[in-house]
Chain A
Amino acid sequence: MSGALGLGERAYDLVLRQATVIIFAIVLLYFGFQAPLFLGPENLGNIVKQSAFIGIAAIGITFVLLTRGIDLSVGSVMYLAPLIAGFAMREYEGSVALGLMVAIGAGAVLGAINAFFIVALGILPFIVTLASLFAFRGFGAYLTSSRQFDFAPALREFGLSSVAGIPIPIIVFALVALAAHLVLRHTLFGKQVYAFGNDPEGAVKAGIPVPRIQTAVYIISGAAAGLSGFVLIAQIGRIDAGFGEGREFDVIAAAVLGGASLFGGVGTALGAVIGATLIQTVSTGLAFTGVNLYLQPILQAGIIFFAVLIDSLRQHRQKLRRRRSIRPIAT
């Protein structure tokens, strides 16, 4: 059908589809021009390392967005799941590996709680995860009385270590991205996630196990959020009461910026990686070039707005195209 479109329209389509990559290139060039050191390997490596935190959670939430859902609780899961891991490590004098497992597991359980209300009780994801945003954080505050929680030094050693010169956060980020990519592209589950997001009713009719899929995506999102929190905590060594607060919006913005649609059915793991890295690049770049600290949130807001705008434009475009089939356009 694309053959029927004019050159200009095809270019517009391409820009819409590749918007993030194009913006990314412009941002890199701009900051590189302002401060050549910005493009140095050390700084770029740092950016990727810092994007791991938002990026891992963004990969997780991409699964939810694919099913037309939303998960507002990721910021609170980032806080609560590592906290539970911390208690477990203290209680059992456990290793970092135990902490890692518990953080992921606790995140998955929190995700399963969301899934229960959404799938079994049929409550809107927005409402459920808005409630759990407060509930999960509140539970963490109850456990710690809102005090700072300190981890054993071994954790920080792990968090700041490298394997073959590659920092641990980047390795975890890469492994999560690869795993998510394989699941989405190369498993039946992944394909059914896309199918469900495209047409929930059609998925039921086609005999796809819809409740199972919907449950799984919230568990995945929770587990990813737990892991992402743990990866950042491992670099800091302690956890504050406000940790992860408001981060759900960075995470959603990263996923949408990476091409995931809030209307479901569209999005990739790689996109979430790119989206998260772009957000980090901008904030590092702003700091690097000495832009007024108070202007930064406004610029961040601009990016988020832009991401959602692009998503809407893409949707609008699809609608237009669906209508277009009545008669060929005279050229």
Chain B
Amino acid sequence: MSDTVLELASITKEWFGVPAVSDLTLTVPRGNVVGIIGENGAGKSTLMNVIGGVTPPTRGTMRLKGEPYAPGAPRDATRSGIAFIHQELNLFTNLSITDNIFITEYPRRFGMVDHRAAMTQTQALLDRLDIRHAPETMVEDLAPGERQLVEIAKALHRDADVIIFDEPTTSLTPRETARLFDVIERLREDGRSILYISHILSDVRRLCDKVAVLRDGRLVDEGAIGDFDIARMIRAMIGRELSSLFPDRSNLPSGQVMVQVDGISQPGVVADISFQIAAGEVLGLFGLMGAGRSELARILFGLDPAEKGSLSIDGREVRGAAMQRIRDGIAFVTENRRSEGLLMDAPISENISLATIGHIGRGPVGLLDREAEQALAEQARSDLSIRASDLTRQPVRALSGGNQQKVVIAKWLAASPKLFIIDEPTRGVDVGAKYEIYALVDRLAAEGNAVLFISSELEELIGMCDRIMVMNRGEITATFDPRETEPRFEREALLAAAFGEIVT
């Protein structure tokens, strides 16, 4: 246990003089699972990219198995025995498991690939991981969790000493997650070291031997898992007490139901979804990745079809395509801000007027009324304190994540909707801007709107919502209402419901 596989000594990585990782020293013992946690932008990815050979450190040195280690490219890292299992798997779905494992270095016979030798080796790897698929199975026929195991098989094939997992469980079912943990357990017993990056702190507690917490590129806390409860992890990650992270809610939901959803079903996606949101209420929607939250949002907004069920706002049924639903008072802040929520290269003002382009378009001879557009943007800037230099010239791309999100919200505010569906609004947004977005959510509710707040970050839901609804595999498994039951939300129960375990 005592010998060290990977040593990082005073690693600093700067981008244009701004440090993303500063003066970080960390040791990874053999046969250990080391949890790396931290908020978005804390430097985890940069650190992993340095280890994985994607980018060289500005200062500092690394040692791997006692030897100096300075990879120039990802290929060097692979050769030295470091495997990186990305969130987005790097597999070719049109090829077999065997082909994927051997795609850069197939065994050969007579100038051609030796399928038989490759398959025998693959079978041995699959046996080690208990994958019950033939080596010639196409990757496209595998479930997400099985695909990940193929990635692990690839790492084993290259005899990796250090395996880096980046958020490995986000697209897995609970059963697949349990299986992955079994495999990681086995890898550890096998003497391999694992760097495990995750936002799911309970997983980190369950799985890791040691935890390293990053904040603003620095290692702010480190220690054996025995000394690390979740509260300490959170404290270390955010550097202050939890309570100051969220604004106080300024209103209570009114008694009057504004949004009524009845029995929405779509085979293979969601089943029998019913809920209500009162005017002035923030209803949270929690679930693991792939639970069907965003799919439900798309159905509510009219982007995807539903076989059964209805949605009404203020007693009037809402139906038809998204365009109709926007008119009927729905706003959808999507989780993919860059690709779906904004025209990244268009100026801020044009983005803000998008949802109300029908009104702006009534200038002289049907041309766009640029002055009205500008006035709208100007108002949004002062209203939401969007930090931008020039509303009509600056492209949205040039704004920070938080300000981009404000532009999306401003766009919808202009359409004066009643129901806001907000999907992962704080993803890729730094802590300070998060607070502002939370304050905006609070304001939306205080103005009497209904808000459906979708998130995978339990803490922000707990901090902001009046009630929290939990989805698992396309169904609502539980709804928590602190006014009725416990005085506050119970994390354990919420997580259990998300994992589809029985709540007592």
- Chain A interface residues toward B at CB < 8 A: 1-2, 182, 186-188, 191-192, 194-195, 197-199, 202-203, 205-208, 265-266, 318, 323-330
**With A and B bound together, what is the CA distance between A23 and B323 in angstroms?**
41
Choose among A188, A202, A325 the residue that contacts B143 (Cβ–Cβ < 8 A). A325
Q: Which residue of A lies closest to B75 (CB)?
A: A207
Given A194-B99, A195-B95, A326-B292, 5 more contacts at CB 8 Å?
Answer: A1-B142, A182-B112, A191-B103, A197-B94, A327-B271
**With A and B bound together, what is the CA distance between A327 and B78 in angstroms?**
36
Segment at the A interface, from B85-93, B427-435, B485-493: B85-93
Choose among A192, A197, A266, A325 the residue that contacts B144 (Cβ–Cβ < 8 A). A325
| B268 and A194 contact, CB distance less than 8 A | no
Choose among B111, B142, B473 the residue that contacts A326 (Cβ–Cβ < 8 A). B473
Q: Is the interface of A mostly helix, strand, loop or mixed?
A: helix
| A202 and B92 contact, CB distance less than 8 A | yes
Is B127 close to A, CB under 8 A? no
List A contacts of B269 (CB < 8 A): 323, 326-327
Choose among A197, A206, A318, A326 the residue that contacts B268 (Cβ–Cβ < 8 A). A326
Given A326-B295, A327-B475, A330-B267, the answer on whether A202 and B91 have CB atoms closer than 8 Å is yes
| A186 and B91 contact, CB distance less than 8 A | no
Q: B103: shortest Cβ distance to chain A, in Å?
A: 6
Q: Mark B60-97, 1 if CB is under 8 A from A, else 0.
A: 00000000000000110010000000000011111100
| B95 and A194 contact, CB distance less than 8 A | yes
Q: A69: shortest Cβ distance to chain B, in Å?
A: 16
Choose among B103, B115, B140, B474 the residue that contacts A327 (Cβ–Cβ < 8 A). B474
Q: B53: shortest Cβ distance to chain A, in Å?
A: 11
| B113 and A206 contact, CB distance less than 8 A | no
| A186 and B268 contact, CB distance less than 8 A | no
Is B128 close to A, CB under 8 A? no
| B112 and A194 contact, CB distance less than 8 A | no
List A contacts of B140 (CB < 8 A): 318
List B contacts of A2 (CB < 8 A): 141
Q: Mark B466-498, 1 if CB is under 8 A from A, else 0.
A: 000000011100000000000000000000000
Is B104 close to A, CB under 8 A? yes
**With A and B bound together, what is the CA distance between A186 and B99 in angstroms?**
11
**With A and B bound together, what is the CA distance between A265 and B138 in angstroms?**
13
Q: B403: shortest Cβ distance to chain A, in Å?
A: 29
List B contacts of A328 (CB < 8 A): 268, 473
Given A207-B78, A208-B104, A326-B292, the answer on whether A195 and B92 have CB atoms closer than 8 Å is yes
Q: Name the residue among A182, A197, A206, A327 with the largest chain B CB count within 10 angstroms.
A: A327
Q: Is the interface of B mostly helix, strand, loop or mixed?
A: loop
**With A and B bound together, what is the CA distance between A191 and B98 in angstroms?**
11
Q: A292: shortest Cβ distance to chain B, in Å?
A: 42
Q: A265: shortest Cβ distance to chain B, in Å?
A: 5
Is B393 close to A, CB under 8 A? no
| A191 and B90 contact, CB distance less than 8 A | no
| A186 and B112 contact, CB distance less than 8 A | yes
How many A-B contacts are there with CB distance less than 8 Å? 86
Given A206-B103, A208-B103, A326-B292, the answer on whether A266 and B94 have CB atoms closer than 8 Å is yes
Cβ-closest 3 pairs across A and B: A327-B474, A327-B473, A195-B92
Q: Which residue of B lies closest to A321 (CB)?
A: B140
List A contacts of B142 (CB < 8 A): 1
Is B108 close to A, CB under 8 A? yes
Q: A250: shortest Cβ distance to chain B, in Å?
A: 26
Q: Name the residue among A1, A188, A330 with the largest chain B CB count within 10 angstroms.
A: A188
Given A198-B95, A207-B78, the answer on whether A325 and B112 have CB atoms closer than 8 Å is no
**With A and B bound together, what is the CA distance between A188 and B108 in angstroms?**
9
List A contacts of B263 (CB < 8 A): none
List B contacts of A205 (CB < 8 A): 74, 90
| A191 and B95 contact, CB distance less than 8 A | yes
Q: B94: shortest Cβ distance to chain A, in Å?
A: 5
Is B106 close to A, CB under 8 A? yes
Is B448 close to A, CB under 8 A? no
List A contacts of B112 (CB < 8 A): 182, 186-187
Given A182-B112, A326-B292, A327-B473, the answer on whether A192 and B271 have CB atoms closer than 8 Å is no
Q: A211: shortest Cβ distance to chain B, in Å?
A: 15
| A191 and B99 contact, CB distance less than 8 A | yes
Is B417 close to A, CB under 8 A? no
Please, could you name 27 A-B residue pairs with CB atoms under 8 Å apart, sorted by A? A1-B142, A1-B143, A188-B108, A191-B95, A191-B113, A194-B94, A194-B95, A194-B99, A195-B94, A197-B94, A203-B92, A205-B74, A205-B90, A207-B74, A207-B78, A265-B92, A318-B140, A323-B268, A323-B269, A326-B269, A326-B270, A326-B473, A326-B474, A327-B269, A327-B292, A327-B475, A328-B268
Q: Name the residue among B75, B268, B292 with the largest chain A CB count within 10 angstroms.
A: B268
Is B290 close to A, CB under 8 A? yes
List A contacts of B111 (CB < 8 A): 187
**With A and B bound together, what is the CA distance between A209 and B26 in angstroms?**
34
| A330 and B95 contact, CB distance less than 8 A | no
Q: Which residue of A lies closest to B88 (CB)?
A: A202
Q: B44: shortest Cβ distance to chain A, in Å?
A: 19
| A206 and B90 contact, CB distance less than 8 A | yes
Q: Which residue of A lies closest to B145 (CB)?
A: A325
**Residues 105-130 of B at the A interface (beta carbon under 8 Å):** 106, 108, 111-113, 115
**With A and B bound together, what is the CA distance between A266 and B94 in angstroms?**
7
**With A and B bound together, what is the CA distance between A206 and B142 in angstroms?**
20
| A194 and B290 contact, CB distance less than 8 A | no
Q: A14: shortest Cβ distance to chain B, in Å?
A: 15
Q: Which residue of B lies closest to A186 (CB)?
A: B112
Q: Name the residue among B103, B270, B473 with the largest chain A CB count within 10 angstroms.
A: B103
| A188 and B290 contact, CB distance less than 8 A | no
List B contacts of A329 (CB < 8 A): 267-268
Q: B142: shortest Cβ distance to chain A, in Å?
A: 8
List B contacts of A330 (CB < 8 A): 267, 271
| B268 and A1 contact, CB distance less than 8 A | no
Q: Name the residue among A199, A203, A206, A318 with the largest chain B CB count within 10 angstroms.
A: A206
Q: B449: shortest Cβ distance to chain A, in Å?
A: 29
**With A and B bound together, what is the CA distance between A265 and B93 in angstroms?**
9
**With A and B bound together, what is the CA distance between A330 and B103 in angstroms?**
38
Q: Which residue of B lies closest to A192 (CB)?
A: B103
| A187 and B113 contact, CB distance less than 8 A | yes
| A202 and B90 contact, CB distance less than 8 A | yes
| A188 and B106 contact, CB distance less than 8 A | yes
